[in-house]
Structure 1
Amino acid sequence: MKRFGHEFKEHHVTVPWDYSNPDSGTFDVFAREIIPPGGENYPALVYMQGGPGFPAERPAAGLGGLLKAGLTRYRWILLDQRGTGRSHRIDELSDAADFDKLHLLRQDNIVRDAERVREHLGLKKWSLYGQSFGGFIITAYLSMFPESIERAFLTGGLPTTRLGADDLYRATYTKLRARESQFFREIPWAQQRIEEIIDHLDNHEETVPTGERLSSRRFRTIGIELGRGAGFDTLAFLLEEPFRTVRGEKRLRSDFLQDVGQRVTFQGGPLYAAIHESIYGGVVDSAPTNWAAHRVREEFDEFAEDGTWLTGEHIYPWQFDEDPALRPLKAAAEKLAQHPWESSPYDLEVLKDAPAIAAAAVYLDDIFVPFEESMHTAHLYRDLRPHVTNKYQHNGVRVDGEAIFTELLRLADDH
């Protein structure tokens, strides 16, 4: 099929759910290949999506800057990670309560699936691109199959290799506190407006379009927007006039509730909430993550249950009660939170000798993937060339993907 002047091909590869137990059943991993004109023999570049729990990019409105930049030298392989998109999407209607599947969705098994796709394509080696969690997958890939990788490109995706979940969330809350302080300085009325909305939600019943009551703690999760490039302005416009008066009673506007409702639901990606903390399991020990973000928040007065600051990329157990999209996953998510992890997704001894050339965009002010942890891991790679910048937030590739990827190509080429 031709789209946007490029050839699109589809690949389906049957893989086991559990590589240690072949009798556990199988599913088909899906990958979409994009070949530029004359690029049939270009090397392959695999797109490792951020998340976890989301499928690969769907270029429905044309090819964005990142994809365009890659297609100058590569043919893209857009891989739907297991449990997402067309690789057996898991949601409230599909295996939602199946812990036996949820605990198999981490970096290591995504890597094993990718290896099956590489073999299916008849490739000796390929290169990898990973945004955010996609970089976590790349770090695991280089730990498991280093000889399969030619080059690796990471944006906002160098994971911690020395912190457990508790300490990692201490770091992200600290980063968020600094970022939110800056937001309140630049938008000086925002803090008071947030507190006004919290007080209103604690004392009045307001419902989002899906019908459930909006709690103040759920409203506070819109702070994830602070980690995006235009986040300050997006939140400022959202908050500037949230109330109206109806028959003498102060109420939240319907368009405000619609906007917030879209921000606080996981209908589009419930798997993200269910498995988010599991990607940090086993990094330093086998202890369960045990809702680390929920426990650690109480160490920060601003973000604690009775605090008033917006929270960020953090998942809380009560969301599985308040969000209809998450309720079917509650039992399995709880079991996953108590699951001990026997090993790290990363083998640092293998990583330090992995022959691939790597280049990574590292965002100085990233509130999702702390800068200090990224740079520590960068030095564990045999050959990683960092592009450190404070020009972008975590979603830099959405803002200027072509420029960022072009710079990573230059770094990788610079011998």
Structure 2
Amino acid sequence: MNLTYRQPGVVLTDHHFTVPLDHTDPQGEQIELYAREARAAEKDASALPWLLYLEGGPGFGARRFIGRQAWLDRALRDYRVLFLDQRGTGRSTPANRQTLPPRGGPARQAEYLTHFRADAIVRDCELIRPTVTGGGPWTVLGQSFGGFCTVHYLCAAPEGVEAAMIAGGLPSLDATAPEVYRAAFSRIERKNQEHYTRYPMDVDRARQIAEYIAERRPVLSGGHPLTLEAFQSLGLMLGTGEGSHRLHLLLEEAFVQTPGGPVLADAFEEQVRAELSFAGHPLYALLHEAIYAQDPASPTAWAAEGVRAEYPLFDAVKSLAGDGPLLFSGETIHPWHFTTDPALVPLAGTAELIAQRTGWGPLYDARTLAACTTPVAAVVYHDDMYVDTAHSLATARAIGGLRLWVTDEYEHDGLRASGTQVLDRLLSLVRGEV
């Protein structure tokens, strides 16, 4: 039974679906999917077409807006919106340290997680679409990794897509994981330079915190060691519109004076723990490199860790021994994540097997995309820290008829941070109004 309830200006309905874990074995193990429908309270639902929203990630449940926040207000003028918790996330059958170990050892867990990439997500969408829409195609809005899924959708089941809009999520069609991360570290370095130019006082603050961590080796609540690498990974914040400012505000209140000298403030440690924990999105860590795996013969093999060694400026120990600024890292996952984060420690063996796995299949088909007749519009953020601009532009050229908007007004979170502006522009592009 689908439960319907209200928020200001919005009618919400919960939807539940059962889908095969492995779509090639439809009679095998089944998992549950959850999706939340949103429609404007003043609209007649039967007269509205459907917009499917695919969240970024991997590993994040669909965004929970309250009322008509951000871009949802614009979407509700024209659509009923379905927020899908992609398999393993949110209220869909979860995949985490509590649910994976009962399945068996790391090998069984890793095999289970091979069914959680974009190809399976799209097949889920196609399986539930007839139930939701009555069989008609829907418009798809993909944010970040949701855009990766949308591009796969255009390859695998274009008949299910009335129109597609992609925000900060045009993937490379053929780049390997090491190539993705080599491009990423250069962008991350630029974001660090921009941050320290904006907040020059943070050069000393970051060094002081790093020196304290190196000497004291603090442990955050819940048993989360605060290592130098973990501290550096706060640079993930630098890829959003407010991220640099949030990082600065965090650093400036790092220490509290005590009779024994300065120590890290409880409030600082708690905020850092919240930023670093993968408890709410473990699939992000487990599958982050696998979303770039397309060569059946090649494992991802901790690609970001290998590439990081090629960029000595990110070596915290060397930075502290010299006089250069400490550089924060970004959207990269490393083996140490699975030895420090309590939400990931039980999954370390599983992560290792996924990193060494071969047999990944291709996710995109260049010929199908070149022949695409589905209206597609995409926004590419000029210096997106999370998705390489050059890769995105190459893919934009490869998709037939795609309408492209390149902007430096926003960072990776522009769809949400812009209010209605980014979605309004994408709708104008996909409809041929501009």
Q: If the length of structure 2 is used for normalisation, what is the TM-score?
A: 0.92
Of the three residues 72, 79, 82, the one matched with 1:74 is 79
- Matched residue, 2:410: 392
Counterpart of 1:411, as a letter, is L
- Matched residue, 2:120: 109
Structure 1: distance between partners of 2:251 and 2:169: 31
Q: Once the 2 structures are TM-superposed, how far is the Cα of residue 67 of structure 1 from its aligned partner?
A: 1.1
SS at match of 1:22: coil
Counterpart of 1:190, as a letter, is D
Structure 2: distance between partners of 1:402 and 1:116: 30
Q: Once the 2 structures are TM-superposed, how far is the Cα of residue 292 of structure 1 from its aligned partner?
A: 0.7
Name the % identity: 36
- Matched residue, 1:331: 349
SS at match of 2:100: coil
Asked whether the 8 Å contact 1:273–1:315 carries over to 2, the reply is: yes
Q: Once the 2 structures are TM-superposed, how far is the Cα of residue 332 of structure 1 from its aligned partner?
A: 1.1
Structure 2: distance between partners of 1:33 and 1:157: 23
Structure 2: distance between partners of 1:349 and 1:217: 42
Is 1:258 equivalent to 2:270 in the alignment? yes
Q: Write the deviation string for residues 173-200 of structure 1: whole angstroms up to 9, x where unpaired.
A: 1111111111111211212221221111
Structure 2: distance between partners of 1:411 and 1:343: 32
SS at match of 1:321: helix
- Matched residue, 1:373: 391
Asked whether the 8 Å contact 1:156–1:394 carries over to 2, the reply is: yes
Structure 1: distance between partners of 2:428 and 2:405: 10
Structure 1 runs not aligned, ≥5 long:
none
- Matched residue, 2:322: none
Q: What is the root-mean-square deviation in Å for CA atoms of aligned residues?
A: 1.5
- Matched residue, 1:38: 44
Asked whether the 8 Å contact 1:42–1:74 carries over to 2, the reply is: yes
Asked whether the 8 Å contact 1:13–1:116 carries over to 2, the reply is: no
Deviates more, 1:146-155 or 1:132-141: 146-155
Is 1:128 equivalent to 2:140 in the alignment? yes
Q: Once the 2 structures are TM-superposed, how far is the Cα of residue 23 of structure 1 from its aligned partner?
A: 4.9
SS at match of 2:31: strand
Structure 1: distance between partners of 2:32 and 2:419: 30
Q: Once the 2 structures are TM-superposed, how far is the Cα of residue 276 of structure 1 from its aligned partner?
A: 0.8
The within-5 A match list for 1:342-357 is 342-357=360-375
Of the three residues 245, 253, 268, the one matched with 2:257 is 245
Asked whether the 8 Å contact 2:375–2:431 carries over to 1, the reply is: no
Asked whether the 8 Å contact 1:32–1:78 carries over to 2, the reply is: yes
- Matched residue, 1:13: 17
- Matched residue, 2:99: 94
Q: Write the deviation string for residues 7-38 of structure 1: whole angstroms up to 9, x where unpaired.
A: 32222222111122335401122222223222
Q: Once the 2 structures are TM-superposed, how far is the Cα of residue 253 of structure 1 from its aligned partner?
A: 1.1
Q: Once the 2 structures are TM-superposed, how far is the Cα of residue 285 of structure 1 from its aligned partner?
A: 5.8
Aligned length: 413
Structure 1: distance between partners of 2:231 and 2:393: 33
- Matched residue, 1:178: 190
Is 1:406 equivalent to 2:424 in the alignment? yes
Q: Which runs of 4+ in 1 moved over 6 A?
A: none
Distance 1:23 1:38, change over 3 A: closer
Q: Write the deviation string for residues 273-299 of structure 1: whole angstroms up to 9, x where unpaired.
A: 1111110001x5631111111110011
Distance 1:249 1:363, change over 3 A: same
Structure 1: distance between partners of 2:267 and 2:14: 39
- Matched residue, 1:358: 376
Deviates more, 1:370-379 or 1:296-305: 296-305
Is 1:56 equivalent to 2:67 in the alignment? no
Asked whether the 8 Å contact 1:27–1:88 carries over to 2, the reply is: yes
- Matched residue, 1:314: 332
SS at match of 1:35: strand
Counterpart of 1:396, as a letter, is G
Distance 1:367 1:84, change over 3 A: same
Is 1:166 equivalent to 2:178 in the alignment? yes
Structure 1: distance between partners of 2:403 and 2:376: 6
- Matched residue, 2:90: 85
SS at match of 1:7: strand
Structure 2: distance between partners of 1:133 and 1:238: 27
- Matched residue, 1:26: 30
Q: Write the deviation string for residues 46-95 of structure 1: whole angstroms up to 9, x where unpaired.
A: 00010000111222x32212111111111101111011112101111112
Structure 2: distance between partners of 1:69 and 1:48: 17
Asked whether the 8 Å contact 1:225–1:235 carries over to 2, the reply is: yes
